[in-house]
Structure 1
Amino acid sequence: MSYLTATTLDQALTTLAAGPVSIIAGGTDWFPARGDRPVTGDLLDITRLPELRGVSQTDQGWRIGAATTWTDIIRADLPAAFDGLKLAAREVGSIQIQNAGTIAGNLCNASPAADGVPPLLTLNAEVELCSANGSRVLPLSQFLQGVRQTDRAQNELVTAIHIPAPPADSHSSFVKLGARKYLVISICMVAVLAKIESGRLTDIRIAIGAASPVAQRL
């Protein structure tokens, strides 16, 4: 077993192209999932890639780097349409987990109860994947294919989440039901985004998580 640390995106993609390797960012899902089993394969740490971290506004909307932590999202200056995502970020484990866990890790783990997925679905999020051969972007709903299953190829790295500019005057929220108030796996969760126009709600988007193998837009 080798623990490899990439310092450039090209280095990370070259490592992925060379053979099977487990990608580690926060590791808050990957390491607990091992249980008592020894780590036998190689690990690739991507936490030192600055281009994979941060929230920025683009001409088309917003870009969230794959290694952006939940704490980064909570602290980011974002419009009200992202309030649901921020509420979900505050529900991800403890503060220590929020400081280490990453948005792309939450997606790549592909748990039906991943807190970040429903609000991202209401934001029409897209996933950017890169390999040594190029890059592609696909809707989050296509990226997630089942329980612990995604469309990421072995030689690909999720590099960013892209969110088109939400409608002006849109607001969002998120709520989840669990067996207790804190540090809980969701029994069910709901994210809602809607535009307020002339005192009425329009462009209403609702997504449900933890109620099916993959979270669903209704």
Structure 2
Amino acid sequence: MYLRPRTVGEACAALSERPAAVMLSGGTDVFPAWGEKPRPDYILDLSLLADLAAIRIEPDHVSIGARATWSALCKAELPACFDALKQAAREVGSIQIQNVATLGGNLCNASPAADGVPPLLVLDAEVELVSVAGARRLPLSDFLLGNRRTTRRPDEMLTRILVPRTIDDGRTAFLKLGARRYLVISIVMVAAVVSLENGRVREARVAIGSCSAVACRLPSLEAALIGRQAAGGLGRHVEAEHLLPLTPIDDVRASAAYRVEAAHELVCRALDACCDPGA
């Protein structure tokens, strides 16, 4: 059965009655995953929920609807700290994919190589989940549990991503390493944001994807950078022990050892880019 609700309330009611329904928006993850498998009994098409595509700047946070596309993110006028997310948006597949694929779908798919996760982690993003029982918010880091696993209940839908406006002026960078330049699943990706005061680091946040079941922050590195002089770059302060939270695997794209080495280099480059006034 094909369901096409007109409001979030209708969508939640449908999910409460049919928790096995597959939610569909851009479809760029859903359709390839089906392959030759039998189609699900219920498909919940969210394309009429226009409010879920809205991007709004509020006094204390930025609200990004779960149906916002990568192309819409690229075009949105957002604080400087969102530049890394926009850089990631330009790396998602082709232009055709970017025009229909959604940020919410990227997060709910919960791939370790999801491009949107590291830039949102460094922004301390939260997600909003809604059901007939009400709404709840939780940090993105708590929402993602592992490869293709989240804390979303079957009767819930992701409606918004909320980013607190605590580092609006931060300089950011997003770097992605793959076997080729475009249309590639990453071997390693890094997002960083640095806020400066009088030429020194007031706050630094760094996240790495594709090197763990869930992309993760590097808290020991972030702490070590506080107060550092930004002139000359910050990459020189990155040590091997800062990358200990990573748990990379060997697969067809790269070995675990290569991923760690590449991650170290990309973190150095991203931090240096955040301090380069010409970047």
Aligning the two structures, in what range does the TM-score lie when normalised by the shorter sequence?
over 0.9
In the alignment, is residue 5 of structure 1 matched against residue 4 of structure 2?
Answer: yes
Equivalent in the alignment of 1:91: 91
1:1-218 → structure 2 map (5 Å cutoff): 2-19=1-18, 20-218=20-218
Q: Structure 1 residue 41: deviation in Å?
A: 2.1
Q: 1:50, CA displacement in angstroms?
A: 1.5
Separation in structure 2 between the aligned mates of residue 139 and residue 169 of structure 1, nearest angstrom: 21
Q: Per-residue deviation at 1:40?
A: 3.1
User: 1:7, 1:110 → 2: CA distance?
Assistant: 26
1:144 to partner: Cα distance = 0.1
State whether residues 122 and 193 of structure 1, in contact with CA within 8 Å, keep that contact through their aligned partners in structure 2.
yes
Deviation at 1:168, TM superposition (A): 4.5
Higher deviation after alignment, 168-177 or 22-31: 168-177
TM-score, L = length of structure 1: 0.97
Query: Is the CA contact 2:5–2:48 (under 8 Å) kept in the aligned structure 1?
Result: yes
**8 Å Cα contact 2:68-2:103 kept in structure 1:** yes
What code does the residue aligned with 2:27 have? G
Moved more, 71-80 or 196-205: 196-205
Letter of the 1:117 partner, please give it.
Answer: V
Relative to total residues, which structure has the larger strand share, 1 or 2? 1
Q: Which consecutive residues of structure 1, in runs of 5 or more, have no partner in the other structure?
A: none
What percentage of aligned pairs have identical amino acids?
A: 52
C-alpha RMSD over aligned residues: 0.9
The answer as to whether partners of 1:107 and 1:114 remain within 8 angstroms in 2 is yes
Q: 1:168 to 1:68 in 2, by over 3 A?
A: closer
Moved more, 33-42 or 82-91: 33-42
Q: How far apart are residue 201 of structure 1 and its match?
A: 2.6
Distance 1:169 1:74 in 2: 18
CA contact (8 A) 1:127 1:137 kept: yes
CA distances 1:76-128 after superposition (whole Å, capped 9, x unpaired): 00111000000000011101110010001000000000000000000000000
How far, CA to CA, are the matches of 1:168 and 1:11 in structure 2?
35
Equivalent residues of 1:52, 1:159 under 8 A apart: yes
Q: How far, CA to CA, are the matches of 1:38 and 1:96 in structure 2?
A: 26
The 3-state SS of whatever aligns with 2:38 is coil
Q: Unaligned regions of 5+ residues in structure 2, if any?
A: 219-279
Distance 2:41 2:177 in 1: 36
The offset of 1:6, in angstroms, is 1.1
> Would you tell me which structure has more helix in proportion to its own residues?
2
Structure-2-length-normalised TM-score: 0.76
Distance 2:136 2:52 in 1: 16
Give yes or no for contact 1:81–1:166 (8 Å, CA) kept in 2.
Answer: no
Q: Which amino acid aligns with 1:12?
A: A
Report the Cα offset of residue 166 of structure 1.
3.2
> Where do 4+ consecutive residues of structure 1 move more than 3 Å?
none
Radius of gyration: which is bigger?
2
Structure scoring higher RCO (CA < 8 A, sep ≥ 6) equals 1
